[in-house]
Amino acid sequence: MNFTARQIADQINGTIVGDPDINILNISKIEEGSKGSLTFLANPKYTEYIYSTNASATIVSNDFEPTEKIETTLIKVKDPYSSFTAILEMFNKDNSERKGISNLSVVDKTSKVSETSFVGSFTTIGKNSIISDNCVIENQVFIGNNVKIGDGTIIYPGVKILDDSIIGKNCIIHSSCSIGSDGFGFAPNEDGSYKKIPQTGNVIIGDHVEIGSNSTIDRATLGSTIINNGVKLDNQIQIAHNVEIGENTAIAAQSGIAGSTKIGKNCMIGGQVGIVGHIKIGDNVKIQAQAGVTSDVESNARITGTPAISYMNYNKSYVHFKNLPEIVKKIDKKEK
């Protein structure tokens, strides 16, 4: 793609300081900027690079004033990070408008695929499934029976969407995800072996949900596992049967949520967090990375540790923990 600095500034309501007609061909990091590239400065830690970058244009905040000579054209905006994100979307837009079903795919005659959607090679779609308008189903995707996929959703290669799953509009499901597999349900027998409990429910995913690669969302034992609108899941996340995740909650990589736990709206959950089953986590909760959550959490809490406790209480306790050897020495000395 080829844009001028003026065209980019118009897209993000920016003010240009420098050459408005300079050509922009690609995107770069500020420390790796080259002629023809666009970069941005949002984190003050990277300010030094603006004086040495070879990028043709740089998006900066309205209050940025250089203290040294710069070569790059500046595009001043209110929020550099969100503005650069908008430009990334513009550069990343797929203008090919792919439509139609590959001759190398298999679609059951009882299923319906919109004429405005695309189905790639070696993809299988089972019985009575519906692919709505403007969807992109990439190569080697498996879609089972009675699946519904909403408008504008993108399914990347290798995804498995099993029977009865429902996926909303404008979702993105990255490579090798598994949606609707059996939950981990087994009943112990008297002889110590286990009997599998049938998993008869489904998975319901709302609108504008994004699910990272190699994540797994299990179908419910009864009823539905529910991922509500706007949820963002990172790579390698496990969501067990009958879990419900509230709107606009974000969960980082390698976290696991056990069965029947309910998580509220607008939560932020760090990487490698483990959450036990059958508990409730309120709205606006922040859970630090590697925490182990073993009981209910009230709304607006910030927790960390295992078992997880208040973030501030954990920090105070950790100070005492670090000082414990010296405290023990003092106690021993007094006892002697």
Active site residues: 241
- Residue 64 half-sphere exposure, CB side, CA atoms within 13 Å? 30
Total count of residues recorded for the chain: 336
Are the C-beta atoms of 214 and 177 separated by less than 8 Å?
yes
Task: For helices 311-322 and 324-335, give the axis angle rounded to 10 degrees.
Answer: 50
Distance CA 75, CA 35 (A): 16
Q: Which helix (H) or strand (E) holds 319?
A: helix 311-322
Distance CA 268, CA 252 (A): 8
Q: Each residue of 146-157: b (16+ CB within 10 Å) or e? A: bbbbbbbbbbbb
Q: Each residue of 174-189: b (16+ CB within 10 Å) or e? A: bbbbbbbbebbbeeee
Per-residue tokens: 198: 């049938």
- Residue 120 half-sphere exposure, CB side, CA atoms within 13 Å? 14
Are the C-beta atoms of 215 and 238 separated by less than 8 Å?
yes
